[in-house]
Structure 1
């Protein structure tokens, strides 16, 4: 489903990067305030 949010690459680098090289990102999936899970993205 489209949740109505979009991120630019620049936004992703600042907000979601979890490594020094800024190639791995962690995005938290929530419903209301409850965490449903996490999505990890790695750009190679």
Structure 2
């Protein structure tokens, strides 16, 4: 049988990983917007 400490640590680690994925997704969506690499030059 697994000790309560090991079981708790394992649950916490799994939860951190799940939360981390959600946070990374949020950061990716809210990050730098896409912009054209070679914008058209304005002459004038």
TM-score class, shorter-chain normalisation, is: under 0.3
More strand by share: 1
More helix by share: 2
Q: TM-score under structure 1 normalisation?
A: 0.21
Q: Relative contact order (C-alpha < 8 Å, sep 6+): which is higher? A: 1
Higher Rg of the two aligned structures:
2
Q: TM-score under structure 2 normalisation?
A: 0.21
